[in-house]
Structure 1
Amino acid sequence: MLTSFMEGLLCCLTSKSSNIVVPVETSELADGYEFVEVKPGRVLRVRHIIPDRQVVEEPTWQGGSISCKRKITVYRNGQLFIENLGDRASAELKNCENGETDPNSIVEVELTDCGNSSPPASIPETRSKSQLRKRRRKPKRTVVIDCERKISACKGTHADVALFFIHGVGGSLDIWGSQLDYFSKLGYEVITPDLAGHGASSAPQIAAAYTFYALAEDMRLIFKRYARKRNILIGHSYGVSFCTFLAHEYPEQVHKMVMINGGGPTALEPSLCSIFNLPTCVLHCLSPLLAWSFLKAGFAQQGAKEKQLLKDNNAFNVSSFVLRAMMSGQYWPEGDEVYHAEITVPILLVHGMHDKFVPIEEDQRMAEILLMGFLKVLEDGSHMVMMECPEAVNTLLHEFILWQPEEGAPPVDAGGPFLSFLSSTYSREDVAVP
């Protein structure tokens, strides 16, 4: 603690950060580590594993298709109204502000193209003037989604499948160690980068290098460099936002997606009253306290095992400047509920029950908004659930990767959970631990 205080004091006096992450010299290139220059002077470390395997080409078509049609209407008061159109039409009133429903808000919606659907919810005979005004209000924006996606099982022997793992603030590609070993042994091609300023990637000393848009562009370039025909994105915490961005931008190339403790479908905006707005040198003085707080909030238990996991996986080991810039740069107004509702990719949400960073209500809200989403809660995990419960997470991810709808299955009732792993078409032998 005293050492950190002295280094922080020196940082204040010299106006320089004494804890800077820079690319390290490595002899691990043969083990799948590469350094990719995404922009002049901006270098990311990437672990890319192409396992030795007997490649089995993907058949012409196996699996099934999911048909979804719904209409999303956004009103100026922030309310989001979703109509699920089809044989099993339903309507849900959702509020964009903190996920709370306004009990006094009544919107009469006429469902179209609904065949034998049930009639709209009845409207009380007695209405106040304010309710009538709300009912007549004009929408700010209307989005109609009408899609049909073909979804098949992705096996490690298929050469057209790639898995991308993206970490969050303070992490590194090393936090995915258990997942990379598991899936590479099953024959999957895996790709995972260090975000700028993290792990062994370069750390520019300008705050603009750590905005959401700068990091998202990095991930876009990494994705375009390594993408195959069918790509599965797995993100953790802040890394989920970059997966969401890629799934929205490349819906035909992204086959499925996994969100691990990613939070609710709200636009990113940095907090004005946050400890991370303190000067860099002050944050450096507080770094032992921040590390202890991360351990306490990120793990269900805080013993020697968890401390060693942080150390071995190079987690929460970034400079104070990078940490401050990352937290201040989380501004992404486009990533609101409508943006998430437009995503047509099947998505698995994994939430650690003891997570103190992301309340379970946020992931529940995300599952409701997503067109095709399923939420799985792990009772023994917290924010770093993939490190705490690697076997459970690996098996769950593999089940989702192998999941496919049955041929001739009825259209999905969009807007809520739709997957049932226990009734899936694959056998348990398909997900055996290597």
Structure 2
Amino acid sequence: MLTSFIEGLLCCLTSKSANTVVPIETSELADGYEFVEVKPGRVLRVRHIIPDRPIEEEPSQGASVSCKRKITVYRNGQLFIENLGERASAELKSCQNGETEPNSTVEVELAESRNSSPPVSLPEPRSESVTAGNNGASETGAAGEAPAAVHPDQSQQPRKRRRKPKRTVVIDCERKISACKGTHSDVVLFFIHGVGGSLDIWGSQLEFFSRLGYEVIAPDLAGHGASSAPQIAAAYTFYALAEDVRIIFKRYAKKRNILIGHSYGVSFCTFLAHEFPDQIQKMVMINGGGPTALEPSLCSIFNLPTCVLHCLSPLLAWSFLKAGFARQGAREKQLLKENNAFNVSSFVLRAMMSGQYWPEGDEVYHAELTVPILLVHGMHDKFVPVEEDQRMAEILLMAFLKVLEDGSHMVMMECPETVNTLLHEFLLWEPATPALVKKENKTRPETAKAQTDNNREATEPATVRPATARQT
């Protein structure tokens, strides 16, 4: 604590930012690690494991899921989502919100307009509900009764004003979903960490899936781990980091790619799913939060000067340990030390928190995703409440939500076996192929000429005629 305070004081006096990130020259190039220069002078460390696969199996055909959705944004700050798919995977709906009907509607309020009302509400199916495609007149009478021409107390009733939609997004596509096994050479897993992390936090997952035969990719974001740390705050904005992730993805991507993100890394996975919709097979969000646009907080401890944050670095590390883990014992402290978690410079930490500006990543942006998504949430997470992941599950078209009772924000380090099992089951999951309906053998109706011939044969005496070649 005293050393950090002295270093912070020297930082203030010399006007130089303290940077404790391991430089790229001192990093040993071990087996499975690569260094990729995404831009001149901007180098990222990437762990790339290509396992020795057994005899390759033929990929399963899987099943096609109809993704038909109508998203309407109104000017009063409401978002109306209507699922129009004939078969939007009933098992997904039952896991997502308890409903078994494939056609359902979701009405939510946008983040900037909601006050104390619940963020997501599932209205009951009603015939008089107003949708974006109607003419604005809602029927309040029974189905068989015609509305009266003139109502005596019509002037006393409040007149419903037609809601004008701000914009409407229609999604109509077919997505083919199949099981992804480690023996398939066209499957790659991408692991993206969040603020203060590194690729080492995925150690258990990288080892587990590489042993199963999967090809895995895990980069260090700029300023994290052994990647280069530019001394410019603009190098840590969302768009700068997203461009780095895009370059890494295009370098290692194959036909079927699976994205696994944690915390801030979930936003980059969502960005890639929008940029490359045909190449993303499945996606996993671990404690990623709600589908709201990113905007840095104006009143935050990370807005303090870098030298002050450097003085408070031991306190920040202790706070992260308390909020990121369900238990604060010797094992958790050892996990933080071994996996190089929350071990970044104060300058990088301040720039990362101030650069989280992504206005495009709102509810509509997430509702447009058609890829199957697994949501994993630690119940004891103090950074991201469970209500945010529940909101995300309601917004997404195809989503599973799994809540782990013994986990917190760093759930993949606390419960590695459970997380690995959930991820593996999700990779092997594929929608059930609908059984083909057998068509009954129906006799074709006789034509008028055939009926006349049959009647004539019934009335005339049967005569034996020689068989001709045509009759034969």
Normalised to the residue count of structure 1, the TM-score between the two structures is: 0.87
Matched, 1:94 2:129: no
C-alpha separation in 2, matches of 1:199 and 1:49: 18
- Contact conserved, 1:55 with 1:159, CA < 8 A, in 2? no
Runs of 4+ in 1 over 6 A off after TM superposition: 120-131
C-alpha separation in 1, matches of 2:154 and 2:20: 65
C-alpha separation in 1, matches of 2:141 and 2:237: 46
Counterpart pick for 1:108 among 126, 130, 133? 130
| Matched position secondary structure for 1:219 | helix
Matched, 1:223 2:237: no
Counterpart pick for 1:149 among 172, 175, 184? 175
| Matched position secondary structure for 1:7 | helix
- Contact conserved, 1:270 with 1:328, CA < 8 A, in 2? yes
User: Aligned letter for 1:374?
Assistant: F
- Contact conserved, 1:171 with 1:199, CA < 8 A, in 2? yes
Matched, 1:271 2:297: yes
- Contact conserved, 1:348 with 1:373, CA < 8 A, in 2? yes
User: Aligned letter for 1:94?
Assistant: V
Residues 1:289 and 1:81: Cα distance change in structure 2 (over 3 Å): same
How far does residue 127 in structure 1 lie from its aligned partner after superposition? 11
Q: Deviations over 1:236-293 (max 9, x none)?
A: 0000000000011101000000000000000000000000000000000000000000
Among all aligned residue pairs of Structure 1 and Structure 2, give the percentage whose two residues are the same amino acid.
Answer: 80
- Contact conserved, 2:18 with 2:347, CA < 8 A, in 1? no
C-alpha separation in 2, matches of 1:126 and 1:169: 59
Matched, 1:51 2:51: yes
Corresponding residue for residue 164 of structure 2: 138
User: Aligned letter for 2:413?
Assistant: M
The farther-off stretch of 10-19 and 265-274 is 10-19
How far does residue 101 in structure 1 lie from its aligned partner after superposition? 5.4
Corresponding residue for residue 302 of structure 1: 328
- Contact conserved, 2:288 with 2:384, CA < 8 A, in 1? yes
How far does residue 55 in structure 1 lie from its aligned partner after superposition? 4.5
Matched, 1:380 2:406: yes
How far does residue 146 in structure 1 lie from its aligned partner after superposition? 1.0
Q: What CA RMSD, in Å, does the superposition of the two structures yield over aligned residues?
A: 2.5
Matched, 1:334 2:356: no
User: Aligned letter for 2:74?
Assistant: Y
How far does residue 230 in structure 1 lie from its aligned partner after superposition? 0.2
C-alpha separation in 2, matches of 1:126 and 1:292: 65
| Matched position secondary structure for 1:216 | helix
Task: Show structure 2 runs of 5+ residues with no match.
Answer: 87-101, 143-152, 437-472
Counterpart pick for 1:187 among 195, 198, 213? 213
| Matched position secondary structure for 1:159 | coil
Task: Show structure 1 runs of 5+ residues with no match.
Answer: 113-119, 411-434
How far does residue 130 in structure 1 lie from its aligned partner after superposition? 7.7
How far does residue 312 in structure 1 lie from its aligned partner after superposition? 0.3
| Matched position secondary structure for 2:46 | strand
Max Rg structure = 2
Corresponding residue for residue 74 of structure 1: 73
- Contact conserved, 2:378 with 2:407, CA < 8 A, in 1? yes
How far does residue 26 in structure 1 lie from its aligned partner after superposition? 3.2
Matched, 1:354 2:368: no
How far does residue 63 in structure 1 lie from its aligned partner after superposition? 1.5
How far does residue 53 in structure 1 lie from its aligned partner after superposition? 1.6
C-alpha separation in 1, matches of 2:156 and 2:67: 36
| Matched position secondary structure for 1:38 | strand
Normalised to the residue count of structure 2, the TM-score between the two structures is: 0.80
Corresponding residue for residue 419 of structure 1: none
